Amino acid sequence: MVIALTEPPGKPYPLGLEELRLSLESGDTKPVVTAVPEFLLVLEDDLDDSTKRDRDEKWAIIEPLLDPAYPGQIFVQGEMGRLVGNRAAELGIQRKTIYRLLYRYWFYGQVRNAFLKNYSAVGVANRNYSPGVRPGRKPKFQGVLVSPCKLLSAIDKRCIKVKVGYALYAKNKTSSLRIAYDKMLKKFYSVKDLSKNSENRVRLLPESEIPTFTQFDYWGKQFFDEIETDRGRKGLTKWLKDCRPIAGTVRDWLRGPCHQFEIDATIADIYLVNSYSRRMTIGRPVVYVVVDSFSGMIVGLYVGLEGPSWNGARQALFNAFTSKVEFCAKNGVEIAPVIGTVIICHIRSTPTGARCCPLQQKGWQAAWASRWVRHLRTDQIGSPWSKVDSVSSMI
């Protein structure tokens, strides 16, 4: 079943798979990428009670039609009309109301939020005003009438959009928006003074003939969305590191506990002192914690005085791959063992991550000191898949 992606939504119709394949091969049908409507991106927690109630009431109207006696019954020839007619008679509403809700549901991806009101489509896309009839009240400053600002034409908006306009700020070519505005005025809204004794060779046009800074800022944000401007100002590398949207969770591709371990080093917010004299400060300890990504359980721990380093990571991993029952017993704590086999290990406090995967053999305790320490040398940072036998008992 396919549906035309045109407003208003229409009835879906059947299309054979072979017919679709031939249409794609011949070029009559081409794949395109469409943006998700803005009103569908709202979070559930951001919706108020009235909006949720309106959405759920519309969903309740068509919900029985989407769960018929057998899958796809509503798309069988003649069944949609019969099901919609029975539902309309049951609720005492018009058939076209149900049809519109069904088409909207299929049009926007078969999600319940398809019934939210699309306020982003409200209003007129482009308003054209004549200079003789200006919109709004007459501008005043401290009760005195002042000359009105310029009504922007299509050419003015294009001057704001081009490379010498708002794009200078959006692509981090200028340090501030005001500098980008001044450069645009000098480029498009100035005249050259050719007199011999002129102090400034470039003279701006009268204020009534140039866009104001507020207009420049408003239309610039219309042409360049907030994400695009933020990415351009910070640079792609920094934006991907700090500001990119996170899709999914760390558990999405994991098979279960012990599939992936992560290590992080944190300098504790305390100062250690000498046991003989509290006036002698030793320093702030560095706490290494090894966590199982799937379960969130702490599987290894190490506290040292040296800064975050590979040596500290080795100690934390050694603790992760040894029995925590014995480790906790030495510190007066009794725990029950949880046994598992680690597959991947990520070290996070390094320029690039190091990973490890288990060998298909046993007796890892004997091979630990020789293999793991050798494969975790700093000259091998970023090398592919260091190998080590690894059976971990998790706390």
What is the pLDDT confidence band of residue 57, given thresholds at 50, 70 and 90? very high
Residue 138 corresponds to which tokens in the numbers above?
Answer: 């007459």
Q: pLDDT tens, 280-296?
A: 888 899 999 999 888 88
For residue range 312-331, list pLDDT tens digits in order.
889 999 999 888 888 888 88
Min mean pLDDT across 78-87, 180-189, 326-335, 385-394 is at 385-394
Tokens of 306: 């040296």
| Tens of pLDDT, residues 44-53 | 888 889 999 9
Higher confidence at residue 87 or residue 122? 87
Q: Higher confidence at residue 302 or residue 371? A: 302
Does the pLDDT at position 89 exceed 60?
yes
pLDDT for 348 equals 54
Dihedral sign computed on CA atoms, order 19, 22, 27, 33: positive
- pLDDT score recorded for residue 343: 56
**Which residues lie across from 168 on neighbouring strands?**
none
Higher-pLDDT residue of 373 and 220 is: 220
What's the pLDDT at 136? Answer: 74
CA distance 394 to 336: 9
Length of the chain: 395
Q: Which of 231, 363, 222, 375 is nearest to 310 (CA)?
A: 375
**What is the token pair recorded at 390?**
């690894």
Quote the distance between the C-alpha of residue 326 and its chain's center. 43
Higher pLDDT, 73 or 173: 173
Identify the CA nearest to 357 among candidates 331, 389, 394.
Answer: 389
pLDDT of 389 > 50? The answer is no
Q: Is 3 helix (H, G, I), strand (E, B) or coil?
A: coil
268-282 in b/e form (b: 16+ CB < 10 A) is eeeeeeeeeeeeeee
Specify whether the CB–CB gap between 299 and 320 falls below 8 A. yes
DSSP 30-56: -----PPPGGGG--GGGS-HHHHHHHH
pLDDT at 125: 67
Phi, psi of 71 (to 5 degrees): -60, 135
Residue whose C-alpha is closest to residue 55's, from 9, 19, 104: 104
What integer pLDDT is reported at residue 199 of this predicted model?
A: 61
CB 332 within 8 A of CB 319: no
3-state helix/strand/coil string of 66-119 = HCCCCCCHHHCCCHHHHHHHHHHHHHCCCHHHHHHHHHHHHHCCCCHHHHCCCH
Per-position DSSP letters for 217-285, written without gaps between them: HHHHHHHS-HHHHHHHHH-HHHHHHHTSPPPS-TTTT--STTSEEEEEEEE-SS-EE-SS-TTSEEE--
Specify whether the CB–CB gap between 169 and 220 falls below 8 A. yes
CA-atom Rg of the chain in angstroms? 33
Mean pLDDT, the chain, as a whole number? 78
Lookup: tokens for 200: 């400034």
Q: Distance between CA 306 and CA 172 in Å, rounded?
A: 40
Q: Is the pTM of this model over 0.75?
A: no
